[in-house]
Amino acid sequence: MLTVWGVLIVGAAIIFLEGRVLLKRKSKKEMIVFSSFMIIAMLFYMGVGLHLPIPTPAEVLGNILNPLVSPIDKWMKEGTS
């Protein structure tokens, strides 16, 4: 739980320091992109700190592509018999 608080405090400090600069420059698009990436990164590191099972990118791609590839794989195996 201490890790989550650490991530929140450090993330808030980074958002405060970088956000001030972006607001002074009036960079709305950069602020949106920065905020989005910062929120995703903070959520990821909170999950790591809480020891949640975070899948690797290969597992995510496998889960996405498996429904597309399995019918083709089945069709190819039937043709070789």
Q: Tens digits of per-residue pLDDT, 6-46?
A: 999 999 999 899 988 888 998 889 999 999 999 999 999 99
Give which of 7, 1, 5, 2 is closest to 45, Cα–Cα. Answer: 7
First to last CA, the chain: 56
How far lies 66's CA from each of 30, 39, 62, in Å? 35, 29, 6
Instruction: Return the number of other C-beta atoms located less than 10 Å from residue 30's C-beta.
Output: 13
| Interval 46-78: pLDDT, tens | 999 999 999 999 999 999 999 999 998 888 888
Residue type, 44: F
Q: How many domains does the chain fold into?
A: 1
Boundaries of domain holding 57: 2-80
- For the whole model, what pTM was predicted? 0.67
